[in-house]
Structure 1
Amino acid sequence: MTPTAAPYVLGVDTDATTLREADHLLRALAAELALPEGAFGCTHLVRDGRPRVALSLAVEAEPVLRTARDRLTARGYEVRDGAWDETGRAVLYPGAADLTGTLTVAELLARSAIDRVTVLGAPNEPAPDTRLVTRDHVRPHWQGGRLVLAAMPAVGGTLVPFEDPDPTPCCADH
């Protein structure tokens, strides 16, 4: 179920300006709305006159989405039909909570909705037995209707997700 092909998808405009802030908001809203286990929640960078991080929620049941729309609108959020784009960054997805510690690529794919793992700079996908240190922060992106995790080589022949859970802000030492 991609954010654009899911039966029921909402876009939620926010004032979030960082991915961390948007992740926190998305998790809080999902808990408050009691979204079902199979729901997807994505972040989308919006680059218009007011740069921000918008959200999308995708579910398989229309009543769930209708309730979410009503509650979000009542809280002052601007809500629209559909995702912001087709390349959202997935924060909530089936199996996301099970992606902790170190897993093999095969385990990651079996436990979650992630369809594929790519390695930056590598022409081929990693072997199924390649170990991936999740850092408890696995944020795949939608690409061509598939949920794809970009990873990069790390110490000891392992991989780590490309997105760092604790990035150093630009110019932090200036």
Structure 2
Amino acid sequence: MNKIRAYPSELRCILTFDTILKIGVGIVNDAQVIWEDLRTDANHLVDVGLMAKLWNIDKHQEEDFTPLNLGAAASEVLNITVDKVYQKDFDWKGDLNSAHRMYAALNAAVSLRLYEKLRPALESKEMELGKAIPSQWFSFNARLGEPTRRMKSVRGVELPWSTRDCTWYSVGKFQGCQF
């Protein structure tokens, strides 16, 4: 995307459309790049790295609540290894060769597979814990490149809120979310 001079209006539409999921790991970083490159907000972003941490919260409850990286999430949830050599050892702003395009496609496919497995797994986890795991803990919108969460007010109107309103974010450990 770094070499595109004119972005198709369809891309902007996809990024801003609320009913189209945009799934990834550490996707808040992507939202910032989208804003810097396109000056476009992104809606309905889902971080499967956060979902994976919630799913395996017993292992991660003493850690800062940052997303697991793709390799760790894939290993814990799908029992597969994702080689990140191309991500780390390459300038992604230059020309991409076929191996790098393959890695990007693999990244997208693994992220989707993680979501497909974690969504029902988190529902089971809710029943096991006897507590709700709101989607606001792993999904968000981005305005001006910054994450904003959405929640319903008493009158049913959606209001933006930020990660500063979430106790697991403000203290760095998973403790629940106050609404």
Structure with the higher fraction of residues in strand conformation:
1
TM-score above 0.5: no
Structure 1 length-normalised TM: 0.29
Which structure would you say has the larger RCO, counting Cα contacts within 8 Å and 6 or more residues apart?
2
